[in-house]
Amino acid sequence: MAKVYTEKRVQEYDGTYGKCQMSGETIKNCPLGLDLKAMLGLIADGDLHSALARLRDKVPFPGITGSMCVAPCSRFFSRHTPLICEFERFLYEYELMQFGRPQYQLKKGRVTARTAAIVGAGPSGLLCAHDLAVSGHHVEVFDREPKPGGMLDRAISPERLPRHILFTEMDIFRRLDIRFNFGVEIGRDIELRDLRKDFDALYIAIGAYDFHNIYEKRLDCDNCADIFTFLDNINLYKRRYDHFTVLGSDNSAFHLAIRLSDEGKKVTILTSKPVSEMNVSQVQLDKAVKGRIELLFLHSVENILISGGVMTGIELRRMPSSKTTSAILEDSLFRHETDFLVITKGRRATMLEGLRMNSLGFVDTDEYLRTNADGVYAGGDAVDPDTDFLSAMTDGRTAASNIDSYLIGGQSYKKREKTIRLSPGLDNNIPRRSSFKDISEVIDAAAKILGSEKRYLL
């Protein structure tokens, strides 16, 4: 029987515990360009309206980022200092409490005759649409789902991201006159080549909803499903099964595992990667360990045992660590018992006519997010299987900047940056998450950060 890997056991198992893979200068900056000192200074002065205006200028939906961001800018704050995203969430809730709806009026700059289509209404596509509309271009968004949000709506639990926040924040797009086309799938309802004829530029942010064939074959049983099928039927599966094993090690796998664990289910996360190579935020991994989720890293799937259309177990092989690659582990093959297998590993983007895909099954782009098709850009999960929420948002902003330069004939292009890649530290100096009780408390907290933590802010 496999053991639960606690903080101590992870330290013993992987030597990279607690090391940061980002420079201090990078961590000090907000990847979305928010001036942290200016916002906190306005809060400390009690000018919450100006602080909110400053926030929405760079982060147009602070209710969402306040719920989802893992706050790399707060990485080195002292343990009892609130995260920056807590201030964002407070400003959002303060605005709703005062006015009942978002009040900050966005001002467009120039108005152009150029047009852009965004394919995908997830966080990356939404931010790209916002920035292009603010730049004065006509923007339309296409998505196969009946509502916006993408994986925010499908994969994130209502406890982590209350749905009223998600849909209240969508009001900003109505103010920008962005047209949404829901229930429209590229390749089924409309062809990519037609969009290229109708619009001057495109941004592809379709996510990664397909799976490689090797994983499709493993889903032919009643108690196995890919993450998207599982999420569509999650309430049914939760009623029927008690022990869930999640195959994968990205943020989507951890979001799902933590959600199931919080609801009283036994959960195992299974991956062939060592801890240091898991593309998951430090906060997420810490939550998993504290939630007593069983972490089986460095374990490969040898066989999924199926009998009568039902998965009866999984044969696993313990893999040697990267430091002892020549070692042979005794009794390395064993059987893992579970009630249900959810597969998040092996995702790939949907193939679109005219776009070159890479060997992993994702849209091939250069460092500026440009595809092989002129005027077509791509980002988020469509180009990278390890994209997290903040990286997807940053891709959308980078793409919008580059598309704007393309549309107006500019020469300034931004390179893509992978914003979040902290190696798992498992509760190593992670600030606690708390909620501010009132305005005086948030004002005091902002003043204290400016006084004691200012060395970590640019």
Going by pLDDT thresholds of 50, 70 and 90, the confidence category of residue 25 is very low
Domain assignment present for 16: no
Instruction: Judge contact between 389 and 68, C-beta under 8 A.
Output: yes
The whole-number pLDDT of residue 227 equals 87
The two tokens of residue 360 are: 């992993």
Q: How far is CA 202 from CA 147, 173, 313, 321, 425, in A?
A: 20, 18, 45, 43, 39
Domain assignment present for 42: yes
Choose one of 324, 347, 370: the last residue of a domain.
347
Choose one of 327, 347, 367: the last residue of a domain.
347
The two tokens of residue 394 are: 């940053």
* Domain match, 353 and 441 both: no
> Distance between CA 200 and CA 35 in Å, rounded?
32
* Domain match, 267 and 386 both: no
The whole-number pLDDT of residue 1 equals 33
For residue 205, pLDDT beyond 90? yes
For the segment 100-137, what is each residue's pLDDT rounded down to a tens digit? 888 766 666 678 999 999 999 999 999 999 999 999 99
For the segment 67-109, what is each residue's pLDDT rounded down to a tens digit? 888 777 776 666 677 888 889 999 999 998 888 888 766 666 6
For residue 427, pLDDT beyond 60? no
The percent of residues above 90 in pLDDT, for the chain, comes to 34
* Domain match, 309 and 395 both: no
* Domain match, 389 and 325 both: no
Instruction: Judge contact between 264 and 351, C-beta under 8 A.
Output: no
Domain assignment present for 9: no
> Distance between CA 261 and CA 229 in Å, rounded?
19
> Distance between CA 203 and CA 274 in Å, rounded?
34
CA-based Rg of the chain, rounded to a whole angstrom?
22
Instruction: Judge contact between 235 and 331, C-beta under 8 A.
Output: no
* Domain match, 177 and 275 both: no
Least confident of 171-180, 271-280, 328-337, 449-458: 449-458
Instruction: Judge contact between 204 and 120, C-beta under 8 A.
Output: yes
Q: How far is CA 93 from CA 86, 87, 162, in A?
A: 11, 10, 12
Instruction: Judge contact between 380 and 122, C-beta under 8 A.
Output: yes
Q: Mean of the pLDDT values across residues 252-271?
A: 87
For the segment 149-185, what is each residue's pLDDT rounded down to a tens digit? 888 887 777 877 888 888 888 878 877 889 999 999 9
Q: C-alpha 249: how far from its chain's center?
A: 13
Smallest CA-to-CA distance from 19 within 321, 386, 428 is with 428
The whole-number pLDDT of residue 5 equals 33
Domain assignment present for 245: yes
In the chain, how many domains are there?
3
In this structure, the strands spanning 333-336 and 310-318 are antiparallel
* Domain match, 37 and 141 both: no
* Domain match, 375 and 446 both: no
Domain assignment present for 317: yes
The two tokens of residue 112 are: 């152009």
Burial level of 365, CB count in 10 A (0-12/13-18/19+)?
buried
* Domain match, 35 and 136 both: no
Domain assignment present for 15: no
For the segment 413-426, what is each residue's pLDDT rounded down to a tens digit? 888 876 554 433 33
Q: How far is CA 391 from CA 31, 127, 175, 395, in A?
A: 8, 12, 26, 6
* Domain match, 232 and 322 both: yes
Residue recorded with tokens 């942290």: 36
Q: Mean of the pLDDT values across residues 180-209?
A: 92
- Structural domain of residue 361, as residue ranges? 115-209+349-408
* Domain match, 225 and 292 both: yes
For residue 319, give the CATH number of its domain: 3.50.50.60
> Distance between CA 118 and CA 178 in Å, rounded?
10
The whole-number pLDDT of residue 196 equals 95
* Domain match, 131 and 198 both: yes
Domain assignment present for 242: yes
For residue 455, pLDDT beyond 70? no
The percent of residues above 70 in pLDDT, for the chain, comes to 79
List the Cα angle 310/314/320 in 5-degree steps. 165
* Domain match, 248 and 269 both: yes
Domain assignment present for 255: yes
Q: How far is CA 343 from CA 177, 215, 347, in A?
A: 39, 8, 9
